[in-house]
A and B are shown apart, each in its own frame.
Chain A
Amino acid sequence: MSVLVLMEGADDELSLQALTFARELAQASGDGAEPSAFTIDGPYAPAAFGQTVADLIGARAPRAVIAPGSERGNEVMAHAAAILDEPLSANTTAFEPGDPPTVTRVRWGGSLLEQALLRARTLLITVAPHAVAAQAPGVMPEAVPASGHALALAPTERVGASSGGVTLEEASVVVSGGRGVGSAEGFAIIEELAGLLHGAVGCSRAVTSAGWRPHTDQVGQTGTKVAPELYIACGISGATQHMAGCKGAKKLLAINADGEASIFAHADYGVVGDLHAVLPGIAAEIRKARGA
C-alpha cells in the first residue's frame, strides 16, 4: 500500500507532522512501507497545485495522500478533492483502518472532535496542526513539477509585509483584553503591560466586534492562533471561540473580576479582580523589580 505525503518543504514543521501521520497510517493499515514525500515545484497557484496532486494520484494510484492542515495544505487538497470528486478529511487527528476507514477530525477550531467514515477511492487527508509530533528521520521530498489548470490563478504581488514590532504569532508573551476592558481607551493599560514584557497585544472577538481594536489583534477561532510562553487573558470570559486561538500557549494567566468565569478552568494562574485595578499594580511591581 503506497502513501504519498505532500510537503511544503523538507524542514517545514507541519509537513513533518503530516509525514509522521502518514507513517502511522501506513503502519496501521498495511505493510508499513515508508511513505513517498513530495513537494510541488513552481509558483504557487492553488488550482494548479491541486491538479498536480490529482495527476500524481492518476499516475501512481496511492491509497492515500496526506498533507499538512496549513492554510495552503487545506487549500491545495480542497482543489485536488474537487477535481477528483473525492471526499477530503481536513484537519484530521487520527486514523483507524477499516472498510471504510474512520477518521477523527477537529471541529470548532479544536473545541470538539468528530469521528467520520471516509468513503473514498483515494484517501485525501490533511493533518490538524500539532495533532502528532514530527519524528525523525526526515526525508528528502521529491520535487514534482506543477501541472497546469485552466482555472488556475497565481498571486500577482505580495503587499503589506509586517510593519516591524512583535507579531502575535511570534511573541513570547501575549497580553489580551476582552469585554472586561470596557472601551478602546481601556486598552492603554494592556498596551503598557505588553510593552513592559516585550510582548504583543491581543484581544477577544467581542472587542473587535465592538470596534475597540483592529481584527489583526484578535486571538481566536476566526482570528490569529498564538503559541506564546505566557498568555495573559485580562477580562476575557473564556468562550470556546477565544480558547481555540490560545490553547497553544505554554502557560495561561487569567485576570478576571468574576471568579466563576470559565477562563479559570483553562488557566495555570489566576488573579480574581478588576483588571483596571490589578494591571497598574503589576506594571508598577515590574518596574520596581527592574529597579527603574
Chain B
Amino acid sequence: MHVYACVKRVPMTGGQITLTDDQRAISTRHLGFTVSPHEECAVEEAVQIVEREGGSVTVLTLGPAESEEQLRDMMAIGADQAVHLVSDGEEWDPQATAAAIVAAIRSDPQPPDLILFGNESADAGNYQVAVRVAHQLGLPCVTGVKAINISGGRARCEQEVPGGRDVYDAPLPAVVAVKEGINLPRYPSVPGRLRAKRKPLAASQPQRPPARLEMLRLELPPEAGKQVRILGQGPDAAPAVVEILSELGVL
C-alpha cells in the first residue's frame, strides 16, 4: 500500500489570538507551529495501516519553506518520505490547494492506494480540499471518518453521525478525510527524529492561480463582554457555588 497523508502547518494558538498589523494573518512572534490536529491523526493512521499492510507513507504539504519542520515531524512519527509544495507564503484558496495536490499526486510514478486528509484544517476550516482532490482524480471520497479498516482492496470507513457511525465501504484507491479520535498519535522518539532528518524530501514550487475565494482580512469576533463573578477562593466557595446551581435550576 502506498498511502498519502496531507498536512498543513498552522500556528499553535494559546488562550488569545492577536493579528498582524495588516490583519491578514495571526501574529506568530510568540507562537510555535504544528500541523492541524485532524491531520496529525491522518499521518498516524497512514503509518498504522502501512505497519499492518506493508508499503510506504508519503506526507505532503503545501506551505511556506518553514513547513519543512512539520514534514520532518511527521517523518519522525513514521512517514517514509515527504513532498513539499513550497508556497509563496500567501493564502492559497481551497481550489488552488486541491489543484496543486492533484498535480503532485499525478506526477508520482507510484500512484497512491489511499489518500488521507484531515476533515478540515484548524485555521481556514474550508471542509472541501479532500472532496475536490477526490473528484479531480476520479476517486471515491468519505469524510468525517473515525475508523478505517483495510481488507481485500477496500477501505471500510466509519463516519461519525449523530447517534452512531455510518459505514462506507470504499473501493481503493480512495480519498478519506479523518477526524481526531481515530487514533492517538504517537510522540516522536529521539531515534525517530534522527532518522527523519535523512528521509527523502522532494520540494517543488507550484504557481498560485488567482483566488476564487480571496481572503481580504481577518478580524476577531466581537467580545461577549463578560464580567466574571468570583464566587470565592478554594473550598470555602462551595456554598456560593451551590446557590448559583440552584438559581440556574440545575441542582
A-side residues, CB < 8 A to B, are 44, 46-47, 50, 71, 74-75, 78-79, 81-83, 85-91, 102, 106-120, 126, 151, 153-162, 169, 172-173, 197, 199, 205, 208-209, 211, 214-216, 218, 221-223, 229-230, 237-241, 251, 253-254, 261-274, 277-278, 280-282, 284-286, 289-290
> Would A268 and B229 be within 8 Å (CB), given that A155-B167, A286-B245, A289-B242 are in contact?
yes
CB-based contact B250/A230 at 8 Å: yes
A266 and B215 alpha carbons, distance in the complex (Å): 28
CB distance from A140 to the nearest CB of B (A): 24
| Closest partner residue, chain A, to B230 (CB atom) | A270
B112 is an interface residue with CB less than 8 A from chain A: no
25 contacts between A and B (CB under 8 A): A71-B144, A90-B125, A111-B13, A113-B220, A114-B216, A116-B214, A116-B216, A118-B212, A120-B212, A126-B127, A160-B165, A214-B181, A215-B181, A221-B37, A266-B224, A269-B229, A269-B244, A270-B229, A271-B231, A271-B234, A273-B237, A285-B238, A285-B239, A285-B241, A289-B246
Residue of B15, B95, B128 near A90 (CB, 8 A) is B128
CB-based contact B230/A86 at 8 Å: no
CB-based contact A160/B164 at 8 Å: yes
CB distance from A67 to the nearest CB of B (A): 12
B72 is an interface residue with CB less than 8 A from chain A: no
CB-based contact B165/A75 at 8 Å: no
CB-based contact A119/B211 at 8 Å: yes
A281 partner residues in chain B, CB cutoff 8 A? 235-238
A122 and B217 alpha carbons, distance in the complex (Å): 23
Number of A-B contacts defined by CB within 8 Å: 270
> Would A270 and B167 be within 8 Å (CB), given that A90-B128, A108-B125 are in contact?
no
CB distance from A239 to the nearest CB of B (A): 6
Residue of A111, A270, A286 near B17 (CB, 8 A) is A111
CB-based contact B226/A90 at 8 Å: no
CB distance from A79 to the nearest CB of B (A): 6
Residue of A71, A89, A91, A162 near B213 (CB, 8 A) is A89
A192 and B242 alpha carbons, distance in the complex (Å): 15
CB-based contact B144/A75 at 8 Å: yes
| Closest partner residue, chain A, to B210 (CB atom) | A119
CB-based contact B235/A273 at 8 Å: yes
A286 partner residues in chain B, CB cutoff 8 A? 242, 245, 251
| Closest partner residue, chain A, to B221 (CB atom) | A113
Residue of B124, B159, B245, B251 near A155 (CB, 8 A) is B159
Residue of A116, A169, A172, A268 near B250 (CB, 8 A) is A172
CB-based contact B136/A158 at 8 Å: no
A219 and B144 alpha carbons, distance in the complex (Å): 17
Name A's interface SS: mixed
Restricting to B128-149, which residues have a CB under 8 Å from any CB of A? Answer: 128, 131-132, 134-136, 138-144
> Would A265 and B125 be within 8 Å (CB), given that A79-B131, A112-B221, A229-B249 are in contact?
no
| Closest partner residue, chain A, to B135 (CB atom) | A82
CB-based contact A284/B238 at 8 Å: yes
CB-based contact B161/A71 at 8 Å: yes
A112 partner residues in chain B, CB cutoff 8 A? 17, 26, 218-221
> Would A155 and B17 be within 8 Å (CB), given that A118-B213, A285-B241 are in contact?
no
CB-based contact B237/A271 at 8 Å: yes
Across the A-B interface, give the 8 residue pairs with the lowest CB-CB distance, nearest first.
A215-B181, A262-B15, A155-B166, A273-B234, A281-B238, A281-B235, A87-B212, A78-B128
CB distance from A96 to the nearest CB of B (A): 11
Residue of B126, B165, B220 near A158 (CB, 8 A) is B165
| Closest partner residue, chain A, to B36 (CB atom) | A222
B190 is an interface residue with CB less than 8 A from chain A: no
CB-based contact B181/A78 at 8 Å: no
B126 partner residues in chain A, CB cutoff 8 A? 88, 90
CB distance from A74 to the nearest CB of B (A): 4
Known contacts A109-B125, A111-B17; 14 additional CB pairs below 8 A are A44-B166, A82-B132, A82-B136, A107-B218, A112-B218, A117-B211, A151-B135, A153-B141, A216-B181, A222-B38, A241-B13, A270-B231, A285-B238, A285-B241
CB distance from B245 to the nearest CB of A (A): 7
| Closest partner residue, chain B, to A84 (CB atom) | B135
A172 and B245 alpha carbons, distance in the complex (Å): 12
| Closest partner residue, chain B, to A216 (CB atom) | B181
A229 and B251 alpha carbons, distance in the complex (Å): 12
A185 and B228 alpha carbons, distance in the complex (Å): 30
CB-based contact A253/B241 at 8 Å: yes
CB-based contact B143/A237 at 8 Å: no
A208 and B179 alpha carbons, distance in the complex (Å): 14
B50 is an interface residue with CB less than 8 A from chain A: no
B45 is an interface residue with CB less than 8 A from chain A: no
